[in-house]
Chains A and B, each alone.
Chain A
Amino acid sequence: MARVIVVTSGKGGVGKTTTSASFSTGLALRGFKTAVIDFDVGLRNLDLIMGCERRVVYDLVNVINGEANLNQALIKDKHCENLFVLPASQTRDKDALSEEGVEKVLKELEHMGFDYIVCDSPAGIERGAVMALTFADEAIVVSNPEVSSVRDSDRILGILQSKSRRAVEGREAVKEHLLITRYAPKRVEEGEMLSYKDVHELLRVPLLGVIPESDDVLQASNQGSPAIHLKDSDVATAYQDVVARFLDEDRPLRFVNYEKPGLLKRIFGGK
């Protein structure tokens, strides 16, 4: 039985695509056959983050319209054996996504033996975002530690409760996870940023992890390699923790406390 996981947030630029790329990679590295689908039709990005933009021939909309089959459209990841990317179409808009079409694609992926299907949602609460979450079994709600992002996450949680197939059919509710990204403990300490406890208290959704703010993410995007692959990076470690917690392993939270740099570090600098 394939599990469909939507990565969503409401607000743009909070780290949905970065999270989708690293999270799906993490699942694949654990041996699960994983597909990651870009639902941001018209503003395709996931292929860039995954570094497969030059190999896109067919896309999600082609499959929905029957112009290509899934095997033709799925792009095998360059790092992981078990990971496949289904890119969005850049030349279409979100109206090209139909509920029946999306359902057909997800069913077919399940028949192909995928364990996890990660849906990278576009920002907003319109058609694209609703299509991405309609068939979700679980949702990772990505939020930055600031009020407008938290408010938008709250809104999308409400939409999950009312528009997901599980909600409409009155089945067990979509399992919700909160992921806080771009977290800067120093700024929290200085009172410039909401703490992860504040965000958790405002949204009241189980916390899946906290990803620290880091330049590494930009570097990873530019290289077209998901951040989870980075060596010696807090971001990579934090994403590995997220995948572990998702698989019900116990991992304490890291990178949430600010440690003042020691004397030597202050003198000689360092990262």
Chain B
Amino acid sequence: MADATLQGKLIEFKGGSLAVMTAHLRDTEAMRLADALHMMLGGMPDFFAGEAAVLDFSQLATFPDRVDWTAIVSLLRRYQVQPIAVRNLPEHLHEGARRANLAILGNEGMSAERPVAAPPPARVEAAAAAPAPEPVPALSAPTLIVERPVRSGQQVYSKGGDLILLAGMSPGSEVIADGCIHCYGPLRGRALAGARGDLTARIFSTNFGPELVSIAGVYRTFERGLPPAIAGHWAQVRLVSSDSQNTLEITPLGSD
């Protein structure tokens, strides 16, 4: 262990994202939360079996001046929930949460309603458990460009921006973007654009043949095959709204 390089490897920091449970708290009063938890899980105090959780306060109507974090944390621990961080919390409550050893997460990230699949391991992101500093606003939305084919079983997520696929995607793969998806080559797996609810996101492909397309959560599968006018051709997918209803429209694009 005298070797300095070996010493350095005893700890290694790596980016990555992990799926973690979110607990939406609609109250900050420990007593009332305790009652609610008892009603919900009275018979099963070890229901969560030590699972980690992020406490999300986006659904809290009004914020109190101070919160008894120790009480909340020990209450959750009694039910074997392991709170690790808080999210969507106003500034004035940050200090207290920090003192209770909870990390403050930025308010970005996955939307509460629609869990977004984890990005591929190749991309580096801040670990969820790390105390995130104040989010730095990006100057422009980042675009993720994938030069190799996205293969069956692979998943690519372009967080906050567009996704460009230069070598197409295979059946059984999944690509997700918060913005648009541009696919130069065959689009054959599942393509989900506007994953955080952007209704104006679109999907473009030079060789259209997906298993599923979705824009802002409105999805469509193709069990009976694609219309010949678009199958294997240039096409785009977008949302059109009529009578306050959003429907997917798939149209041929340019000339083939």
Using a CB–CB cutoff of 8 Å, the interface residues on chain A facing chain B are 125, 151-152, 154-155, 157-159, 161-162, 173, 202-204
Contact = CB atoms under 8 A, between A and B. Distances in A.
B154 A202 contact: no
A159 B152 CA distance: 9
A151 B172 contact: yes
Interface in B122-180: 122, 148-154, 167-168, 170-173
Contact of A158 (B168, B173, B185): B173
Secondary structure call for the B interface? loop
Given A154-B172, A158-B170, 11 more contacts: A151-B171, A151-B172, A152-B152, A154-B153, A154-B170, A155-B153, A155-B172, A158-B152, A159-B153, A161-B151, A162-B122
A162 B168 contact: no
Contact of B148 (A125, A155, A161, A203): A161
Interface of B: 120-122, 148-154, 167-168, 170-173, 185
Contact of B154 (A151, A158, A173): A158
B149 A162 contact: no
Nearest to A201: B186
A151 B152 CA distance: 7
B246 to A, nearest CB: 32
A173 B122 CA distance: 14
A155 B121 CA distance: 16
Contacts of A154: 151-153, 170-172
Query: What are the 10 A-B residue pairs with the smallest beta carbon separation, nearest first?
Result: A158-B151, A154-B152, A158-B154, A155-B152, A155-B153, A154-B170, A157-B151, A154-B151, A158-B153, A204-B149
Given A162-B120, A162-B122, A204-B167, A173 B152 contact: no
A173 B148 contact: yes
Q: Which of A154, A157, A173, A203 counts the most chain B CB atoms within 10 A?
A: A154
21 contacts: A151-B172, A152-B152, A154-B151, A154-B152, A154-B153, A154-B172, A155-B152, A155-B172, A157-B149, A157-B151, A158-B151, A158-B153, A158-B154, A158-B173, A161-B148, A162-B120, A162-B121, A173-B148, A202-B170, A204-B167, A204-B168
Contacts of A203: 170
A252 B27 CA distance: 73
Q: Which of B122, B148, B151 counts the most chain A CB atoms within 10 A?
A: B151
B144 to A, nearest CB: 15
Nearest to A205: B149
Contacts of A173: 148
Contacts of B154: 158, 161-162
A155 B154 CA distance: 8
A203 B172 CA distance: 12
A155 B185 CA distance: 18
A20 B148 CA distance: 27
A210 to B, nearest CB: 21
Nearest to A152: B152
Contact of A155 (B120, B122, B151, B167): B151
Nearest to B155: A158
Contacts of A162: 120-122, 154
Contacts of A152: 152
B207 to A, nearest CB: 10
Nearest to A147: B171
A157 B153 CA distance: 10
A159 B120 CA distance: 12
Contacts of B171: 151, 154
B213 to A, nearest CB: 20
A161 B155 CA distance: 12
A115 B168 CA distance: 35
Contacts of B149: 157, 204
B51 to A, nearest CB: 26
B20 to A, nearest CB: 22
B247 to A, nearest CB: 31
B120 to A, nearest CB: 7
A116 B44 CA distance: 59
A203 B170 CA distance: 8
A202 to B, nearest CB: 7
A151 B171 CA distance: 7
A107 to B, nearest CB: 19
Contacts of A202: 170
A223 B84 CA distance: 63
A161 to B, nearest CB: 6
Contacts of A158: 150-154, 170, 173
A161 B122 CA distance: 10
A155 B189 CA distance: 12
